[in-house]
Chain A
Amino acid sequence: MTKSKDRTSDELSHSERKTLRCVVGHMIPLSLEFGVPGADDPDIFADILRSIDRDRDAIGEALRMIDTLAHGRLIDLPRTEQARCLLDFRNEHKTLAGVLEAAAARCYYRDDRVMASINMEARPPFPKGYLVEQGDWSLLDPVRARGRIFRDAN
């Protein structure tokens, strides 16, 4: 398949990036308990910024909404206020919140540290593949015993 070309979307502005980083840090925060970074970790956040091409416009809109709800800039609010503002945003703009969630999750859940913490090998599926239990089809005996269930069409 041909790679997408001529995607013209501009990069996020400095201030948009700061808001986005604050949002994803709230969404998936660092956890000492599980030993994982937050989605605002420098490497993960850089990955997010590189990967939002198709969602650039929707993300820009979401960030504007969030700053509007913050009556200024989200990053200027105290952390608890930020969390409350983001809760309002999620309640009022579910679709736009979904775009931010997808953008963050796509990059967060491929980071080696995160993969290790959920017991996934840090490798692509191909070429090693995976094992799936074959199973025992004698489990179908009751279905066989019941007999034919399709209708005669003649």
Chain B
Amino acid sequence: MSSSLDVEKDTAAMNDPVDVLIIGAGASGAAVAWSLAETKMRIVCLEQGDWTKPSDFPSTGRDWEARAMEDYAISPNRRGLPADYPVNDDASPIKIANYNGVGGGTVFYAAHFPRLHPSDFRVRSLDGVADDWPVDYHTLEPFYELNDRMMGVSSLAGDPAYPEKKAMMPPIPMGRTGKTFGTAMNHLGWHWWPSDAAILTEDYDGRAACINLGQCGSGCAQGAKGATDVTYWQEALRSRVELRTQCRVSRIETNEAGMATGVFYFDADNKEVFQPAEIVIMACNGIGTPRILLNSASERFPNGLANSSGLVGRNLMLHPYAQMRGHFDEKMDGYRGAPICTWSMEFYETDLSREFLRGYSYQFSRGIGPVRTAITGMDDGLVPWGEGHHAAFRRLFDHSAGMVSICEDLPEEINRVTLDPQRCDSNGIPAAKIDYRLSDNTRRMLDHSVSRGIEILKAAGAHTITTKAPLPYAGWHLMGTARMGTDPRRSVVNEWGRSHDVKNLFIVDGSIFVTSGGVNPTSTIQALALYIADQIKSRIYELFD
């Protein structure tokens, strides 16, 4: 491949070339790095954040709940740490959540680990909406399985909502929450099942089992949660993949043949460096990836890199959530145990008798700690200021449980990521700007999930029920902004993750989702990353044809 670099005019330092350059060390970056390591190519990953220290995680301190709202807050705007870039989400009812560091979003995720369903890959054929995926469940199945083994997944085999899946270790404990809701679901005759969870219930692969800290959302100090810093990265580093932290990529450079030649990045000392590479793989998530592609606009690619379709940044899908919580006379699990518990796929598949297409899943969740009980109690008007505060607090604390619905968000081009004309990160790179609104279909789906959720809570014996739809601080599933497809006019990457326009540029993160499904996306993001890595390996001699 020609690499006539156009960097002389830049003052950036120049590194030695590498074979493969991965941008982003999160869920997908780790998986692709690990899979490609066996090729013995020279692989470097650039990550803007750093390694986490488990001993720093909030659950190791008395102020655990408070710290989860400060340096370990899920909003990058709230954290505002050096690793974070601002996201202008003022024009979205759903605010963005992420983690920027080795492990990416998996450092904070709840590890709820459902797969997409077979029907999710065929939404146009089955329901006449959006587009079919260029891959199907069957194609991804071995990669789902491999990923489960790498991340360490606990589950119970036999879920009738899925094709058969193997179980590696027992499911996470049912607890009082699971029992209460399971009994209610049985009463209603509705589906429920223990959630597949990337949480170890047994010691596995050198990692210790979950001890029910309940703090999965701000980092697992026990290492029981399958975050990629403790799973894929440990093996990838042993296989000599190089991971450079505190390195923020600003743009991808191309040559006159329209091939990527490498990337510019800012290192920990804010020095600009050029890293030449034969293959560039983007794994920066559904916001970080379009941000870099749009910021890589040049004379050759005036609308941003890989953007001849005009779809880079468009079709952002966030999975609107509704939250329904109730309070019980008897004590529940409270803050103990992984917040996730069981799921229901009762309303997952399209049912034409409902007033919306596609569907949603429920994720049942345990209780919350005292600080959050007080904050949400006051916010919901259940805990007053003054005299009555203490008695009201005690009625709620340790007595709540509930569920969220995860609604399928259909792709719409007006929901998008662009570059913010005003805000920049600490390196002067334009921030991401989100324009997002809920469709009528989604609103009807949210309403349906709230009504059914209330029915479930009542059947479970709950009182003092509160609902929020959409849940505002829940923009943690970032999908669709560089979709995959066979038609270069209607997609950004092809059916194996290669950019239609730039033949040595790949995308493996949540951006490439064609539709969102109604379940958490990470197991599918990683299965796709492994699948694309596999395609790269098997097509290595004709990769750029």
Contact = CB atoms under 8 A, between A and B. Distances in A.
B173 A149 contact: no
A5 B82 contact: yes
Contacts of A123: 62
Given A5-B82, A131-B212, A148-B160, A153 B173 contact: no
A115 B373 CA distance: 13
B226 interface: no
A139 B222 CA distance: 30
Contacts of A144: 158, 160
Interface in A95-135: 98, 101-102, 105-110, 114-115, 118, 120, 122-135
Contacts of A102: 69, 375
A153 B78 CA distance: 42
A136 B348 CA distance: 26
Contacts of B389: 27-29
Given A4-B71, A126-B57, 11 more contacts: A1-B56, A3-B81, A4-B81, A27-B378, A101-B375, A129-B213, A132-B175, A136-B174, A139-B179, A140-B182, A153-B121
Interface stretch (B22-30, B230-238, B270-278, B379-387): B379-387
Interface in A19-78: 26-29, 31, 33-34, 36, 51, 53-54
Nearest to A136: B174
A109 B65 contact: yes
B453 to A, nearest CB: 18
A146 B160 contact: yes
A52 B378 CA distance: 19
A70 to B, nearest CB: 16
Given A26-B385, A105-B378, A135 B173 contact: yes
Interface residues of B, number: 90
A93 interface: no
B101 A29 contact: no
Given A109-B65, A150-B119, A139 B183 contact: yes
Contacts of A132: 173, 175, 212, 333, 336-337
Interface in B382-400: 385-387, 389-391, 393-394, 397-398
Contacts of B222: 126-127, 129
Contact of A142 (B72, B176, B189): B189
14 contacts: A4-B81, A27-B378, A106-B66, A108-B374, A110-B65, A114-B370, A125-B335, A135-B179, A137-B174, A139-B186, A143-B186, A146-B160, A150-B349, A153-B126
B385 A86 contact: yes
Interface of A: 1-5, 26-29, 31, 33-34, 36, 51, 53-54, 83, 86-87, 90, 98, 101-102, 105-110, 114-115, 118, 120, 122-137, 139-140, 142-144, 146-154
Contacts of A108: 374
Interface in B117-134: 117-119, 121-122, 126
B375 A150 contact: no
B173 A126 contact: no
Interface-centre pick from A54, A108, A143, A151 (highest chain B CB count, 10 A): A143
A65 B317 CA distance: 38
Interface stretch (B12-20, B191-199, B286-294, B458-466): B191-199
Nearest to A122: B62
Interface of B: 49-50, 52-53, 56-57, 59-66, 69-72, 78-83, 101, 117-119, 121-122, 126, 136-137, 156, 158, 160-163, 171, 173-176, 178-179, 182-183, 185-186, 189, 191-194, 210-215, 221-222, 333, 335-337, 345-346, 348-350, 369-371, 373-375, 378-379, 385-387, 389-391, 393-394, 397-398
Given A83-B386, A109-B374, A139-B182, A149 B212 contact: no
Main secondary structure of the interface of A (DSSP, over half): loop
B118 to A, nearest CB: 4
Contacts of B53: 1
A99 B81 CA distance: 20
Given A1-B101, A27-B386, A143 B192 contact: yes
Contacts of A36: 390
A120 B174 contact: no
Contact of B60 (A101, A126, A146, A148): A126
B135 to A, nearest CB: 12
A149 B390 contact: no
Contact of B173 (A1, A2, A124, A134): A134
B401 to A, nearest CB: 12
Given A106-B65, A129-B213, A150 B385 contact: no
A129 B213 CA distance: 5
A151 B50 contact: no
Contacts of B65: 106, 109-110
Contacts of B390: 28, 31, 33-34, 36
B118 A151 contact: yes
Contacts of A147: 160
Interface-centre pick from B50, B66, B175 (highest chain A CB count, 10 A): B66
A119 B381 CA distance: 24
Given A107-B66, A150-B162, A134 B385 contact: no
A74 to B, nearest CB: 14
